Every structure is written in C-alpha cells, then in structure tokens.
Amino acid sequence: MKRAYKYRFYPTEQQAAELSRTFGCVRKVYNLALDTRTRAWFTEQRRVNYAETSAMLSAWKRTDELSYLGAVSSVPLQQCLRHLQSAFTAFFGKRAKYPRFKSRKQSRASAEYTRSGFRWRDGQLWLAKLTEPLAIVWSRPLPDGAEPSTVTVSRDAAGRWFVAILVETQTEHHPRADSVVGVDAGITCLLTLSTGEKVINPRHERRERKRLARAQRNLTRKEKGSANREKARRKVARVHARIADRRRDHLHKVTTRLVHENQVVVIEDLNVRGMVTNGKLARAISDAAWSEFRSMLEYKTAWYGRELVVIDRWFPSSKTCSECGKVAESLPLHVREWTCRGCDVGHDRDINAAKNILAAGLAVSACGAGVRSQREPSRTRQPAAKQELSDVRPMEIPRT
C-alpha cells in the first residue's frame, strides 16, 4: 500500500524563494484553468478536460504576460491541473462541492512533484530547479528500500516548511488480538471505553485561549498591509499550530493504542457538523476533534489488519440499559449517573453507552445489519413527551 511520511525541513534563502515562486505559479495556473472551465460550462455547456488545460498551459507560457510560468518546474503545474480534474470529477459525481479559487491569503501553500521532478539518492532529496538537497529533519526513518514516488512540499500559516514523501510499503498486519472494545466519545471525557476506562480530554484550545486572545488583540491593532501586521499574523498562526499539533499528537497516541490492543473497535457515527451548530458546545466539540479521531481509526485499522465498526447514529446507546436492554424515554444531558427502573441497576452514563456500542457493533459485524433505535411502544398510547412516568431516575447516592 502507499503511505506518506511527513517531515519538517529548513530551506535556505534561495530554496525558500524558489519554492515560494513555485507556490504562486501553481495557484495562478489552477485559478486560470478553473476560470476557463467555468466559463466554458456556463456559456457553452461544454466540459474542458485535463488534456485541453494542459495544452492551454503551454500556450500561457508563450505569452508575455505569463512568461514567468516557464521559470519554475513544469511538474507542479501539471499536477495542479490533475488535481483540478479530480475536483471536477468528484463534483460531477456528486461527491464534493464545486471547486473554489485559491486565494493568495490561504493558510497553506503546496506543490506536488512526481518522479520526474525530484531526485532521491543516499537519503537526500533534490527538487527540480534547486541546486542543494533539502535539509530534512528525519524524525523517523523511511521503510527499508523505499523509493519515493511523489513528493509534496508545503508551507503552513505559521511559516513552517514540510515535505511529505509517498512510498510503497508492505501492510503491517499485527498478530490477531482477542479483545474488542466499544468507544463512546464525549467532552468531559474524550473517550470512554467499554472496559470502564476513561481517557481525559486535554482541552488544548482552552489551555491556550488566553494566549490566543492576546495574540488576536495584538493583530487587530496593526495596520493592514504593514510588516508588523504580518508578524502579528504569524504569532496567531503559531498559537493555532501549537494547539493543532498537541491535539493531533494526543489523538495519534490514543488511536494507536486502541488499534494495537483490540481486534475490533466499535464507534458511533456522530453528526459532528450538526452538533457544532449548538452555540454552547461548538467550541468544545471542535476542540475534541471527533472527526479526526474517526479518520485516524479508519486508516490505522486498515494498516494493521484490524476491524472498525461504525454503528448508526440513531442507536440510543446512552438511554439503553446494558443489563436488561430497556430503553428509557428521556435522559437529559446533565444526568451523568442513572438507575434503570427495569432491573434497578445503576449506570455511569458514558460507560453504559460504551458497553451498548460494543454490543451493537458486534451484532453489526456478525450479521452485517444496521443498528436502529428500537423504541418501546407507549404504555399510555400517548407521545413519549406526555408520559408522566419515566424509566430513568437519577442515581441515589447514600448519605453517610
């Protein structure tokens, strides 16, 4: 399988200038091709393919206005046209929105080099138009005998430079594990496992909130277009990068441990996009990064020969008693511990949900069916909201 290894590198002044020039040309070619394809579609109802835009690129280089496009490597320019073709294919296949123009102020700039645009020798990487190899910080080694097929150079909003090296590797299937686990995602506790373990939520954004607010206030005081404003913008970007790096590092450690220790991992299909519309919880939900957690589990289970089961988002995991299976009519969010009226067993809300997620996931894995809420019929033949009796009562804590 193909796998990308990302490293940080520190370019020289000449390399930084050449790569910045390449980023600008890539953005220009992408926008020109997108504008051409958009005009052709809305005026002539005609689709322009990659071959036509590639011929246009050759014509653009011969004009006086765009002659500077010939000063950079042609490989990243051709690759951005391929990316645009993929974007239109996804759009017409109703898998994505219409492609958007790239802005000069975008947070990340990148350029992709295929095999003809770089040279790899003795662990050193030369890019086209650059006379010196990149000073890469090898934080981890590449697989033995790996030969890069694609190299992507990028610069983030904080001014940091990265290179992603795509190589062909063997699938790393771990020995089969005997354990399975259900995972309930939350805010107070980032993850609650069906084993009863709770993973704390570091709340990285809240820890850096004062520093971020101070940097943002300093940015607003700077005159637009000035050098001082650019410095202040970099400071804000560095705080955001610090938060994102810490969050990603913590998620990597947690997901790697889950995948290594369990053969089957079961999670819920959370509607994160809908959840963040809640103004009171949007910031905390975004800081928890549930979508990134799921994406990490998806590719890591594929890497290591594990199974990821995603149950239906409407399954009432919190309201279902994990002992007798009775479904409560309501369970407000502030109730963290409750007692089932069917079997009189006390539950921790999150641990109970994780156990139900595991049971539902194993059922899905065994029979391949979806999991939907099986709501009990009303005993009073009235809507659930009008029933006077509830199947859940808060857990009674004995007084000492």
- The residues that are catalytic are 184, 268, 350
Cα 303 from Cα 88, distance rounded (Å): 29
> Which amino acid is present at 309?
V
Contact status, residue 163 vs residue 19, Cβ threshold 8 Å: no
Tokens of 365: 């894995």
Instruction: Give the Cα-Cα-Cα angle 327, 331, 334 (nearest 5 degrees).
Output: 155
CA–CA separation, 355 and 357 (whole Å): 5
- What radius of gyration do the chain's Cα atoms show? 27
Residue 105, SS3 per DSSP: coil
Please state the separation of Cα 122 from the chain's center in Å.
Answer: 33
Closest among 184, 22, 43 to 111, alpha carbons compared? 22
* Spatial separation of the C-alpha atoms in residues 275 and 294, rounded to whole Å: 16
Q: Which amino acid is at 389?
A: L
Q: Where are the beta strands (DSSP E) in 150-286?
A: 150-155, 161-168, 180-185, 189-193, 198-200, 264-268
In what helix (H) or strand (E) does residue 372 lie, and over which residues does it extend?
none
In angstroms, what CA-CA distances link 362 with 160, 299, 313, 322? 44, 20, 16, 14
What does the alpha-carbon distance between residue 318 and residue 343 come to, in Å, rounded to a whole number?
16
Q: What is the longest distance spanned by two Cα atoms in the chain?
A: 87
User: What is the token pair recorded at 4?
Assistant: 């990308």
Burial 242-271 (b: 16+ CB within 10 A, else e): bbbeebeebbeebbeebbeebbbbbbbebe
- Residue 235, CA distances (Å) to 31, 110, 217, 241 in order: 29, 21, 11, 10
Give the span between the Cα atoms of 107 and 387, in whole angstroms: 53
